[in-house]
């Protein structure tokens, strides 16, 4: 659960300069093989009525990009596309367990509005239904929360991944695939630790279409996100691409 007695709302979703992202050993990464991959895709899932519908897109002009063996994509997603070559197409489905796990009602929590103050005032321009906000738990782990509702004195936050409880059907194409250069690896590490973004882009997170720091210059590791980033999904640690909460 979230920490008591400390500010849980983080107006800046990035780590401080020099602070490592949890669970990533960058020294180990230096001795592993890394491939720089960009893909375009359509993501489908069944809605509550059982209808197979499009829930997310990464178009060719704003592809999802990641570097293998750096925790930037779900292991199951990386296993499917990480060894493909440029121009190859893919069409596969990740089960609930391979993707973001089952939906857990216990991960929907209600917090007092006093936890969401900026300069002594409730951050209404950020805390509104449908937005994704950065939080921190008692261990200092950054994570994202989906604002389900804003009540008179409290805020309902859903800590489930946006695609939890869903089988995810990906159809797409590999746009770029090559051994990552030292510069690309350093840029990815810089992005993961809050120092910058890789080229590309993403949109559709929240009403303003922005992504808290991921603007026209894009973001690495979007939407396969387990613990942080821009609302959700492909990178374990960040990002988003035109997705919606069903």
DSSP 232: S
Residue 182 lies in a domain: yes
**Tally of domains in the chain:** 2
What is the spatial distance between Cα 100 and Cα 103, in angstroms, rounded to a whole number?
8
What's the chain's length in residues?
Answer: 246
Whether residues 89 and 168 share a domain: the answer is: yes
pLDDT tens for 117-140 read 999 999 999 999 999 998 887 777
Whether residues 213 and 223 share a domain: the answer is: yes
Domain end, chosen from 158, 173, 203, is at 158
pTM over 0.75: no
CA angle 9, 10, 16 (to 5 degrees): 155
Whether residues 122 and 227 share a domain: the answer is: no
Residue 4 lies in a domain: no
Whether residues 219 and 114 share a domain: the answer is: no
Whether residues 152 and 245 share a domain: the answer is: no
Whether residues 209 and 133 share a domain: the answer is: no
Q: How many CB atoms lie within 10 A of CB 170?
A: 22
- Residues of the chain above pLDDT 90, percent: 54
pLDDT tens for 11-63 read 444 344 454 444 545 444 445 689 999 999 999 999 989 999 999 999 999 99
Residue 226 lies in a domain: yes
Residue 60 lies in a domain: yes
**At 146, phi and psi to the nearest 5?**
-95, 125
Domain residues for the domain of 139 are 105-158
pLDDT tens for 145-187 read 999 999 999 999 999 999 999 999 999 999 999 999 999 988 8
Q: Give 52-84 as a 3 state SS string.
A: EEEEEEECCCCCEEEECCCCCCCHHHHHHHCCC
């Amino acid at each position: 659960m979230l920490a008591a007695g400390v500010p849980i709302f983080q107006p800046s979703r990035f780590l401080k300069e020099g602070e490592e992202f949890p669970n990533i050993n960058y020294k180990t990464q230096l001795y592993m093989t890394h491939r720089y991959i960009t893909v375009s895709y359509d993501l489908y899932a069944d809605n509550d009525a059982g209808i197979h519908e499009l829930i997310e897109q990464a178009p060719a002009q704003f592809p999802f990009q990641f570097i293998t063996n750096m925790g930037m994509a779900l292991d199951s997603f990386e296993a499917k596309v990480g060894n493909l070559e440029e121009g190859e197409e893919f069409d596969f489905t990740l089960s609930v367990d391979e993707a973001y796990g089952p939906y857990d009602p216990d991960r929907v929590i209600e917090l007092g509005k006093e936890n969401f103050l900026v300069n002594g005032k409730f951050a209404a321009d950020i805390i509104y239904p449908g937005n994704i906000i950065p939080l921190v738990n008692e261990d200092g782990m950054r994570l994202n929360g989906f604002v389900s509702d804003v009540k008179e004195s409290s805020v309902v936050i859903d800590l489930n991944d946006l695609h939890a409880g869903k089988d995810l059907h990906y159809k797409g194409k590999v746009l770029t695939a090559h051994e990552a250069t030292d510069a690309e690896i350093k840029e990815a590490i810089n992005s993961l630790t809050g120092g910058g973004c890789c080229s590309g882009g993403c949109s559709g997170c929240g009403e303003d279409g922005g992504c808290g720091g991921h603007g026209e210059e894009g973001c690495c590791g979007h939407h396969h996100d387990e613990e942080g980033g821009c609302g959700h999904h492909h990178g374990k640690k960040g990002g988003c691409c035109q997705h919606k909460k069903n």
